[in-house]
Every structure is written in C-alpha cells, then in structure tokens.
C-alpha cells in the first residue's frame, strides 16, 4: 500500500505535554484503496485537544490473476491460461481473483482478453450434465422412492433445473441436477 496526502495541512500548534494521536477512517463507503478521509485526533496528557481531517489517496497493490492469452467464451481454464501479476487494484472492481484454485477447471462465461484481470463473475463451474446424457430420474418422499431412466435435454450444473425426457413414458419433466447421473423431481 502506498498512501499519498492530497492536500497540505496547515501547521498544527499543540500545547506542551505528552502528545498522542488516534487515526480513524471517516465515511461509510470503505472501498479498498482509492480516495479516503481520515480524522487525526491529537491528545495532550490523555486529553483530546485537536481534530484534523486528512484526505489521502491509497494505492493498493495485490497479486491477482490475468489472462496470459485470449480465453474464449465457454473455454475450460487451465493453469497455462493464467498469469499471476502484482497490480494496483484501487480502481478495479472488487471481483478480481487472487486464488488460482477458484479459476482452474472453471469455464469462462465471456471472452477474456490478454492481460485482463480475471473476475469471479466471468467464470462459472462446468456443467455436471450435458445434453443427451443418460441419467436416473428420481422422485422421493419420506415413504416412497420412484426412479426411471431418462435422457437430459439440456446441460446443467448442480442445483439447476433442466428438462429431462423419461425414456419409458416419453414425457418431458423438469428436474433438479443432483449428481452427474441423477436428477430429482419435486
């Protein structure tokens, strides 16, 4: 972090004694880095004497991940696709990723340009079920469990609702993806 004072303050004259001070952040919006206001409260012998407001600009550097080359939409991200760099993040959206385990094996939801910071909302988990996969359709209550073979008509991630065709009755139902080969009907 590199703080920089934006405005010069006047000289502050304090009475003699043991000087101490407390710095507190002002304002409700607490973004990482950027423009900030602080209050410096000076005390002499434990008694508050003066409060001075100081405006600063904080440059905050973090190690984040950027795309090494262009990552196309719906491409599975591998370790060779990303690069760790130290970058000033005070003007970046907060969703930047600092942990490569949150990226590897995920799918990009849009094209990511070279040297662009990878944000958490531009990647998603790969689908568990693909269109055309054979799976088990399950209906379960506390006293009854029914199952039938089915085929998925769309791709889906865990917890998503997808259309599934019952192979026995040829009826299309909407079911929630639980595992790679099982969906649950409510």
How is residue 1 written in tokens? Answer: 């972090």
**Domain 61-124, what fold?**
Type Iii Antifreeze Protein Isoform Hplc 12 (3.90.1210)
Alpha carbon distance 53, 60 (integer Å) = 21
**122 burial level (CB within 10 Å; 0-12, 13-18, 19+):** buried
> Which residues of the chain, if any, have pLDDT below 50?
none
CATH 2.30.30.760 location in the chain = 134-185
**112 burial level (CB within 10 Å; 0-12, 13-18, 19+):** buried
CATH of 134-185, one of 2.30.30.760, 3.30.1490.20, 2.30.30.30, 3.40.50.300: 2.30.30.760
Does the model's pTM come out above 0.75?
no
pLDDT at position 53 is 85
pLDDT at position 179 is 92
CATH 3.90.1210.10 location in the chain = 61-124
Q: Are 154 and 137 in contact (CB under 8 A)?
A: no
pLDDT at position 146 is 93
Q: What is the pLDDT of residues 57-74, one digit of tens each?
A: 888 888 999 999 999 998
pLDDT at position 186 is 83
Alpha carbon distance 164, 171 (integer Å) = 8
Q: Are 77 and 123 in contact (CB under 8 A)?
A: yes
pLDDT at position 37 is 84
pLDDT at position 95 is 84
Alpha carbon distance 4, 10 (integer Å) = 17
């Amino acid at each position: 972090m590199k703080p920089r004072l934006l405005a010069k303050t006047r000289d502050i004259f304090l009475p003699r004694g043991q000087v101490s001070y407390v710095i507190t952040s002002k304002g409700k919006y607490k973004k990482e880095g950027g423009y900030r206001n602080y209050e410096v409260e000076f005390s002499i012998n434990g008694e508050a004497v003066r409060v001075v407001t100081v405006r600063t600009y904080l440059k905050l550097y973090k190690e984040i991940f950027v795309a090494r080359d262009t990552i196309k939409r719906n491409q599975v991200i591998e370790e060779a696709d990303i690069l760790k760099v130290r970058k000033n993040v005070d003007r970046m959206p907060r969703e930047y990723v600092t942990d490569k385990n949150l990226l590897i094996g995920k799918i990009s939801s849009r094209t990511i340009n070279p040297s662009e910071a990878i944000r958490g909302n531009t990647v998603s988990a790969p689908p568990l079920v693909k269109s055309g996969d054979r799976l088990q359709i399950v209906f379960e209550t506390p006293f009854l469990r029914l199952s039938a073979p089915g085929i998925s008509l769309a791709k889906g991630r865990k917890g998503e609702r997808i259309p599934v065709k019952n192979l026995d009755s040829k009826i299309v139902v909407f079911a929630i993806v639980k595992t790679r080969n099982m969906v649950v009907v409510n």
